[in-house]
Structure 1
Amino acid sequence: MKSNFNNIIASKTPVLVDFHADWCGPCKMLAPILKEVKAELGDSIKIVKIDVDRNQELSGKFQVRGVPTLILFKEGVPVWRQSGVVSKPDLINILRNYN
């Protein structure tokens, strides 16, 4: 997963990574928001979901201490991050700033 992850985030297209857990209530609230954001922004953004329980090494590398944590990568570099649920309008505005 780690080498594949590095290839994914190295994309010229911004990549939003959702570090989440199956047992996390706020993560479940965020999932449909991310689907709506992807539907609205289309190919201008990639969204990847990473389960922190199954990918502890990756979560540790990016110092994910709480879920959900969103990290936006542009060409492999983290350019924005936030923990907690973000509203659809706020997330779209943030993502458009990095396109």
Structure 2
Amino acid sequence: MASSPLPVLVDLWAPWCGPCRAAAPVLEAVGRAQAGRLVVLKLNTDENPEAASSLGVQGIPTFVLYARGREVARRSGAMPRAELERWVTEAQGGSASMRM
């Protein structure tokens, strides 16, 4: 993530998590809409418990937004697409290049 020139949105999730499954198509849509402007990554917390622990994740789904290798925002809980897009845009300072 530190080497990415684009903002990176990490989705921390698990297969058994209902809200995580509900958020999956929203993240896919945002990832497609923002191709070339935003990288969306999914991290399965069951398969990577040490990563989730090192990030201090206490509940899922948790979304962590990175810019220039630094965490700039974090939010837990599933969101509708418009709300997720607004959150990402606002976390980036509302720049027009991040508008979705």
Short-chain TM bin: 0.7 to 0.9
Q: Distance in 2 between matches of 1:36 and 1:42?
A: 10
Q: Distance in 2 between matches of 1:84 and 1:40?
A: 21
Q: After alignment, is 28-37 or 88-97 more displaced?
A: 88-97
Q: Distance in 1 between matches of 2:34 and 2:6?
A: 12
**Number of residue pairs matched by the alignment:** 91
Question: Normalising by the residue count of structure 1, what TM-score does the alignment of the two structures yield?
Answer: 0.86
> Identity rate of aligned residues, in percent?
35
Tell me, yes or no, if structure 1 residue 20 matches structure 2 residue 13: yes
1:42 maps to: 35
Tell me, yes or no, if structure 1 residue 95 matches structure 2 residue 79: no
Tell me, yes or no, if structure 1 residue 55 matches structure 2 residue 51: no
Hey, which of these two has a bigger chunk of helix by percent?
A: 1
Deviations 1:10-66 (A, max 9, x none): 112000000000100000000000011112222110000001011111101111111
Question: Normalising by the residue count of structure 2, what TM-score does the alignment of the two structures yield?
Answer: 0.85
Partner residue of 2:26 out of 18, 28, 33:
33
Which consecutive unaligned segments of at least 5 residues does structure 2 have? 93-97
How far apart are residue 94 of structure 1 and its match?
Answer: 2.1
Q: After alignment, is 85-94 or 23-32 more displaced?
A: 85-94
Question: How well do the aligned residues superpose, as a CA RMSD in angstroms?
Answer: 1.1
Instruction: Tell me the amino acid that sits aligned with residue 64 of structure 2.
Output: I
